[in-house]
Structure 1
Amino acid sequence: MAQFDLPLDQLVAYRPARDEQPDFDAFWERTLAEQDAAHPLEHGMERVETGLTEIVTHDVTFTGFGGQPIKAWFHRPASADGDLGVVVEYIGYQGGRGLAHEHTLLAQAGYATLVMDNRGQGSGHQVGHTGDAHVGGPHAAGFLTQGIEDPDAYYYRRLFVDAVRAVDVARALPGVDPTRVVVSGGSQGGAITLAAAALSAARGVALRGAIIDVPFLTHVRRCTEITDAFPYGEIVQHLFAHRDHVEQTFRTVSYFDGLNFAPRIDVPALFSVGLRDEVCPPSAVYAAYNHLGSTDKDIKVYAYNGHEGGGPFQLAEHLAFVHRVMA
């Protein structure tokens, strides 16, 4: 795919107006308060054998949105002493937490890691182990339009509450320093990271940093206008049929758009962008980056890559970033 979005000199200055509802903060304050009152956070953990001699892994289950149990892997270096910094990892679209031996790079580097499962997903690029008990209403195939007619019913309301609770669980696990937490994810995981960082801050949880690679669900309306790629194509399919629901659809999405979480994030941040990315167009990534509330931020640009972004090159950047902010 050739570069199709704005040229780089325009991307670095691209800071579009945000479509934010006046009750954005009140919506999320109410959402989290309702869940806390109705479904207090609990968690349990059970050690599992992975065959990795230098990593200790536990299968964690915690209370998510609606009281539903959410699965996660908790990795910790076997030889570590004392309380460690922890990275909470969120997974991309259609993926789950994977098998127990996956996602261990940061544990190899000396950090604890909590890898959250995606409710209802996990039949795509990685295995998942968590269902979603709240699916309903007409929607296109996939997750992006589930419940999209009402912010309270939208799929990502449930997933983002799970993500905030994953941060709370990570801080409470044994062998973790609750003052040293980083959130991380790519694509859909990047969208979840933006939400988790902003909403955790609103709850008074001070994070050490956020890693946001090629984020999805950001500057959504523009993305549906400039790319035919999926998952944004799910919204196009939905509106092809529901032609009278355009404004209501984008009103719902505005409560979940990374562009509106970005100004509420004031921690060190590492982004990445692929300038040939059709799935998460570069202008959407830069829009979130340029609206970020933090001045301690960096974006790694991969001019000849698409949605895979920097791949192993970006993982090396992750290591450097986590070493810096956890120090």
Structure 2
Amino acid sequence: MSGGDQIAPDGVVIGIGVALAFVAIGCLGNYAATSSALQKIRDAPFVHVSDLRSLLNGGGGERLVVVRGVIESKSAIKGSCKSFWPDILVSKQSGYRAVVIQSSQKFLFNERYPNSKEVVASALRDQESTLTQAVPFVLVDSREQPLSDYVVVDLNGSKHPLPLTTVYRKMLPMPTSPLTCQQALRVHEEALRVHEYPVCMVDEEKVLPLGKDVTAVGVCSSKDGVTRIKSCEDLPYFLGEKTQDQMITDLSCKSEILFMSGIIVGFVSIAVLGYVITRKWNKWKKQWLERRRQQRNRISRRRGFGRGSV
């Protein structure tokens, strides 16, 4: 085997070992972040909405808390009948009253390849457009009780997913008029001649309805007599249906999986890189011994030639 043929497999193995090392580092990094989030949620006090004010007055400043409450409109707290309806969103498809409505339209396309060898893994791809509407809302202990105690939910800057409920979903076939087909038919690459055309449209609507029980995990503060809660970037949860115990259980399982994955992948990476290093060392040692043997042979031949001349 030539030197180039030997270097190529070693380079591939080194690349695999380095890639596995990066995966292990990523797993351990995610493990550290998950463990930190787990500890914060575990240490955060679980309180009712009615107890938030006394908790903040006693401790002062901002505090990370876990609150379980019912979603209610902000206008219901004000008690203004005139402002009640404008502060509530009504689903056009289902009639649900909600504080967040997310409408989406997804177009499914079919990609057809004349040559079966050119078929890719998926024959369907989608293009989706989403419109999200939201109004200010609060959490209360119960909608039946007097709404004197509440906490305003601040969604500004939050990138956490919301616990939306799908209330409408319908698949509509696309019309097959000649004009539509002509506009939809495109050729991406001349060599492949890939033709794609719309198959159907999926119309979907999700809402965050009034009266839904949710758990809020975030930083709570009080200003001018108004209690607010906002998301924490270091935590994977903000608003959700899971309880504090369920969050702790999920994060514990996730952290254990990440830790074990990082350790196993790390050992495999070390083994792969160690194999390459050992192979390189043995190869270098063999070459070094071969050069020493050749050098000794040359010295012996020179000495023998000198004695013959004398």
Give the shorter-chain TM-score range. Answer: under 0.3
- Which structure: larger Rg? 2
TM-score by length of 2: 0.23
Q: Normalized per residue, which structure has more strand?
A: 2
Q: Normalized per residue, which structure has more helix?
A: 2
Higher relative contact order (CA closer than 8 Å, sequence separation 6+): 2
